[in-house]
Amino acid sequence: MILYQCQDSLEGVFTAIYNAYEDRCLPQDVRVAVEEEYWLFAEPRPVRSNVWKAGKVAGSLRKRFGEEDYRRLCLCLASPDAEKAQAVYRTVARGIGRRTRPGHLFDALADADVQKAHALAQAAWRELHHYYGFVRFRELEQGILYGRIAPKNHLLPFLMPHFAERFPGEDFLLRDEGRGLFGVHPARKQWYLLEADLPVPEEGLALSKQEEQIQELFRHFCRTIAIRDRENPALQKQLLPLRFREHMTEF
């Protein structure tokens, strides 16, 4: 058994996959891990993330399996699950070995690794689509839009293109509180990620003159359209889980 220990990132896992094929290892003899592991009789091979190698793997996966399946692999790697790297590697190796056609990489759900990758990708996809609708920005005194999220999965790289496309002319920040990351979008420029694990006191963020008024109007609107006799708390929690409400203006 050869144990590739890589960084918990897309670049890290893709570099490990590149190294495994470069070393001509058999898939059944390879384990890819994003956390420090110890296996009896396993040969550890630390992996240093390499952007060029990761880019080569990404290009090959796109070409061989198509954009949809490539995106699902990336969503799988956004999961906090420690087994995600191994599931992705085995899924890719199976697809290459069986010459799977584009769009059919995840069809073989009878395979435990494919099923694992599929389940992790689906969980990340569901949370991502929740955040498409639940992210709330507020305007700061400087005219910058500021939003906060605390996702289970590493979704900031997927959310930033979504909001950059919708607010191309706005300066905005989207903060992932659990990972100490900021998505930064300068108006009409390319967005980027900034790692800054620093406390941001909410009381120190001065809102613009109209923001507080708009927030109160929005909350009043939500209260007004509610029909008390038709309230269904169980259904509300199903459609809008409690963990999202901390960062939503109407709550």
pLDDT value of position 216: 86
Residues 6+ apart with CB under 8 A from 230: none
Ranking 119-123, 190-194, 235-239 by mean pLDDT, the lowest is: 235-239
Q: Which helix (H) or strand (E) holds 217?
A: helix 211-225
The residue extents of the domains of the chain are 2-128, 135-247
DSSP state of 207: B
Question: Can you tell me the distance from the alpha carbon of 133 to that of 60, in angstroms, rounded to the nearest whole number?
Answer: 33
CB 63 within 8 A of CB 92: no
pLDDT value of position 248: 86
Question: Can you tell me the distance from the alpha carbon of 174 to that of 194, in angstroms, rounded to the nearest whole number?
Answer: 10
Residues 6+ apart with CB under 8 A from 46: 5
DSSP string, 78-144: TS--TTHHHHHHHHHHHHHHTTPPTT-TT--TTSHHHHHHHHHHHHHHHHHHHHHHH--EEEBTTS-
pLDDT tens-digit map of 188-213: 999 999 987 666 656 567 888 888 88
Closest CA to 85 of 128, 49, 137, 139: 49
pLDDT tens-digit map of 158-185: 999 999 999 999 999 999 998 889 999 9
pLDDT value of position 71: 97
Q: Give me the amino acid identity at 160.
A: M
Instruction: Provide, rounded to the nearest whole percent, the portion of the chain with pLDDT above 70.
Output: 97
Ranking 25-29, 50-54, 88-92 by mean pLDDT, the lowest is: 25-29
Question: What's the predicted TM-score (pTM) here?
Answer: 0.89
Asked if pLDDT for residue 35 goes beyond 80, the answer is yes
Other residues' Cβ atoms within 10 Å of the Cβ of residue 35: 10
Question: Can you tell me the distance from the alpha carbon of 219 to that of 226, in angstroms, rounded to the nearest whole number?
Answer: 11
pLDDT value of position 197: 67
Residues 6+ apart with CB under 8 A from 198: 180
